[in-house]
Amino acid sequence: MSRTFKLSVMAAAVMAVAPAAQAFEAGDFILRAGVVHVAPDDSSDVITANGAAVLGSDARVAVDANSQLGIRATYMFTSNLGLGVLGATPFKHNISGAGDLAGAGKLGETKHLPPTVTLQYFPMHSSSMLQPYVGVGVNYTTFFEEKTTSTVDGALGADSTKLKLDDSVGVAFEAGIDYMLSDNFGLNAAIWWADINTDATITAFDASGNVAAKTDKFEVEIDPMVYMVGFTYKF
């Protein structure tokens, strides 16, 4: 038996007994970081006070898109099931007029944080370096630093105005894919849809700071598509 043949047999034997590289296994923590873009599919109720339209019979608002740094974490219960958490730096959205207010320009702005928890399913075998997944869960969105512009002050005949947006809880769906370049590092792309609805109120104040008027609560549906591309790290 030649020396070359013996080495070939030994190499084949080693490869046969060596464990395959594992992508995701039970007990793994997976971190993903990258750019997150929130694109609202927005609509709103007509703005009213005491049941009557105050800025036009079809005066509504719209919410623009924004991109931020996103950080996500997944804990794998098994090689196919994981619990995912989405976080990000605060998103900032301009609020503009729609309907009868379409030409009014910027009416206000707000920041929000949208922590989302999902149960994720990974259908591929743990040895696959390509790991698609889907998930379903709950989104909680909290709004803060709401502001109005002088356009709203003038429209309501007020010295100043204040915008209040209630927090939102809704269902969220996601789909994504990881491509592992090594045992620990990879690339990621993902997409979400979240049910985000908030009740808005605008309060008008006179020069003395007293409440002069207040709108009825009007619902603003944001319901965004959320996109993310970035890097994956498993440990």
- The model's pLDDT over 143-170, given as tens digits with 9 standing for 90+, comes to 999 999 998 888 888 899 999 999 999 9
Q: Is 152 exposed, middle or buried (CB count within 10 Å of its CB: 0-12, 13-18, 19+)? A: buried
Instruction: Decide: helix, strand or coil at residue 36.
Output: strand
Architecture of domain 22-234: Beta Barrel (2.40)
> What's the confidence (pLDDT) of residue 5?
43
> What's the confidence (pLDDT) of residue 50?
87
- The model's pLDDT over 92-149, given as tens digits with 9 standing for 90+, comes to 999 999 998 988 889 999 999 999 999 999 999 988 999 999 999 999 999 999 999 9
Prediction pTM value: 0.82
Q: Are 187 and 231 in contact (CB under 8 A)?
A: yes
